[in-house]
Amino acid sequence: MHLTLKLSSLTLLWILLIGLGLGFGDALKMPFRVKDVLPVLPREVSWPVLNTLHSPVDLLPTYIGSLAPNNGSISWKGACFFQNEARVEFTGPGDRGIGGATIHLSTGAAHSWTCMDLYVFATPYRITWDYYFSAHDHTFKIESWEEPAEMEYVKQHGISVFLMPSGMLGTLLSLVDVLPLFSNTAWGQNSNLAFLKKRMGATFEKRPHPRTTINPDDVHSGDFLALSKIRGRWGGFETLEKWVTGAFAGHTAVCLKDELGNLWVGESGHENEKGEEIIAVIPWDEWWELTLKDDSNPQVALLPLHPEVRARFNNTAAWEYARKMSGKPYGYHNMIFSWIDTVADNYPPPLDAHLVISVMSMWTRVQPAYAANMWNEALNKRLGTEDLDLYGILAETERRGITFDQLLTIPEQDEWVYSDGKSTTCVAFILAMYKEAGVFGPISNSIQVTEFTIKDAYTLKIFEDNQTRLPSWCNSGDNKVSFCQILGEYQMELPQYNTLEPYANMNENCPSLPPNYERPVRC
């Protein structure tokens, strides 16, 4: 076994030396290029090699064109096959009764015997991919559109086709188990549970009492609501968010009491009648009814503030902040930047900064307005520039001698104002309210709450730590924890809950790698 491994290593070294021409003058003519073997190499080998062969811009997906049923075919020269042509035709009715499509793609004139081309096919409703080793007439089937709107989009704008760097193959293959997470079915829910058990060590113990009736008199302003959705579109999104950040909850809200003692819920990410995600403050009964109807099967926990923290919570200031922010859009601008603090230690394998920039590049082409909202403005803030698109941002980083992955790690600043106002995610909205209400005391100005993930929030040592002070209805005889789970068939886990004293510049440079998500002290 050791001999085989040694021979394999020597063979790999020989291939790389010949392909790169190191020490041999001109490289020998081979029936393949060094780039051809990258897909079969470990990711730890393939990406460093790619980095030595290309500039960061060369590692971006190449936009080939858009396939629409009335636009005929498109032709291009690939990285492996130099003669390629593709067209799309609609099919129907499909398993959802709204039809689908078939992409016909012909490849020819390969530059070597072993090369391959990897393609991504994208609409605003899906990203899917395929790869081709042989000169042939290929078909790629989209069995069904996600919804009628996707079909209409493709009629008007087409399916965007991207040629990917070959080293991306291993990354995409490793993400195959992500696909079922977004299914709003029992299969989708089981996929989410299995994913989180495997990758985060979650247990999902069944609760004997899935639902609790709360007494609003026992709930106070500032009490924190942690939610975990486990099926459907939001369940899948939250599962991936949990995996990359280490949080065991995927959404948050906050309780507020008015001067009459009525209970309200403040939330960034509330869906209004137009389907927009906004900041809203709504009565508890309305919020609770919406939560019970949510088909993503939410698990909900109430995290009461510690009495000493509650005593300094300025309810008037909290309400002023909530009213000022009400109606503003959800904080998409800085959503990903609370997660990325380091160059390499926030990306659970197979993710890395290359994949992040690839997705950014594709989405910039498919949905430019969405891309500007999600990252372009935030990246401009970090550079002190305005209105640069992604490619302008990349050019500027190269001009300044910094890498794109370094740019991603620059901490978000709470005072940054975006084109639609200050940007707060669900958890940043709550923590910004805490700042206004005096929860963080004298270090408030030294904390950037837009750098906090959900895990960063619930690990703050500001919550009740005495089970005897919890309301009598709390947990209803379930396994005793220091918070109140009020909804959900599974016991919520919040590792390291209520353990970290707040400190200046908190959570601005913290790693977050699974499965343990260990972090140094005061990062």
pLDDT of residue 458: 98
Task: Let me know: does 211 contact 298? Beta carbons within 8 Å.
Answer: no
Which residues share a beta bridge with 101?
A: 90, 142
Tokens, residue 397: 């980083």
Exposure of 421 in the CB half-sphere (CA atoms within 13 A)? 13
How confident is the model over 93-108, as a mean pLDDT? Answer: 88
- Cα separation, 489 vs 298, in Å, equals 9
pLDDT at res. 486: 94
Shortest CA distance to 392 belongs to which of 403, 405, 379? 379
Order the strands of the 62-67 sheet from edge to edge. 62-67, 159-164, 117-123, 126-132
The string of DSSP codes covering 383-434 is HT--S--HHHHHHHHHHHT--HHHHHTSPP-TT--BTTB----HHHHHHHHH
pLDDT in tens, 399-449: 898 888 899 999 999 999 999 999 999 999 999 999 999 999 999 999 999
Q: How confident is the model at residue 3 (pLDDT cuts 50, 70, 90)?
A: very low
Residue 6 region, left (φ>0) first, then alpha (ψ -120 to 50), else beta? alpha
Contacts of 152 (CB under 8 A, 6+ apart): none
- Assign residue 360 a region: left if phi > 0, alpha if psi is -120 to 50, beta otherwise? alpha
Average pLDDT (468-494) is 84
DSSP codes, 115-132: --EEEEEEETTEEEEEEE
Average pLDDT in the 354-381 region? 80
Q: Across all residues in the chain, what is the average pLDDT? A: 84
Q: What is the pLDDT of residues 184-201, one digit of tens each?
A: 889 889 989 999 998 899
User: 123: left (phi > 0), else alpha (psi -120 to 50), else beta?
Assistant: beta
Residue 321 has pLDDT above 80, yes or no: yes
Predicted confidence at residue 6, as pLDDT, reads 38
Cα 254 from Cα 241, distance rounded (Å): 20
Residue 173 — very low, low, confident or very high, per pLDDT cuts 50/70/90? low
Determine how many CB atoms are found less than 10 A away from the CB of residue 28: 10
CB 425 within 8 A of CB 339: no
Listed in sequence order, the DSSP H helices in 43-100 are: 43-53
- Show the tokens assigned to 287: 């919020």
Collect all residues with Cβ–Cβ distance below 8 Å to 382 and sequence separation of at least 6. Answer: 407, 410
Report yes or no: 465 and 498 within 8 Å, Cβ to Cβ: yes
Sign of the four-CA dihedral 63, 69, 74, 79: positive
The answer, yes or no, to whether residue 53 has pLDDT greater than 70, is no
pLDDT of residue 48: 52
pLDDT at 252: 97
Single-letter amino acid, residue 136: H
- Tokens standing for residue 219: 């709930």
111 pLDDT higher than 90 = no
What confidence tier does 51 reach under pLDDT thresholds 50, 70, 90?
very low
Q: What percent of the chain has pLDDT over 70?
A: 83
Ordered structural domains, the chain, with CATH:
57-172 (no CATH), 187-335+421-487 (3.90.1720), 342-409 (no CATH)
* Region of poorest pLDDT, from 100-114, 157-171, 398-412, 472-486: 157-171
Contact residues for 223 (Cβ-Cβ < 8 A; gap 6+): 254, 255, 302, 303, 304, 305
Pairing of strands 62-67, 159-164: antiparallel
Residue 223 is given by DSSP the state -
Share of the chain above pLDDT 90, in %: 51
pLDDT band, residue 19 (cuts 50/70/90): very low
Nearest Cα to Cα of residue 16 among 39, 42, 35, 3: 35
How many CB atoms are closer than 10 A to CB 7?
10
Token pair, residue 497, equals 């809950």
So what's the pLDDT on residue 167?
52
Higher pLDDT, 275 or 94: 275
User: What is the C-alpha separation between 340 and 345, in angstroms, rounded?
Assistant: 8
Q: Give the C-alpha separation, 278 to 275, whole Å.
A: 9
Query: Rounded CA gap, 4 and 1, in Å?
Result: 5
Phi, psi of 412 (to 5 degrees): -70, 145
Tell me how far CA of residue 63 lies from CA of 48, 117, 129, 226, 372, in angstroms. Answer: 23, 13, 14, 40, 18
In the prediction, which pLDDT does 67 show? 93
Is residue 372 pLDDT above 90, yes or no?
A: no
Residue 150's pLDDT is: 85
Task: Please write the tens of the pLDDT for every residue from 56-87.
Answer: 444 557 788 889 998 889 999 988 889 999 99
- Look up the pTM and report it: 0.76
Distance CA 300, CA 210 (A): 10
Quickly state the pLDDT bin for 8 (edges 50, 70, 90).
Answer: very low
Is a pLDDT exceeding 70 seen at residue 166?
no
The total of other beta-carbon atoms located within 10 Å of residue 407's CB is 18
Q: Tell the residue number behind the tokens 């008037």, with chain if given.
A: 316
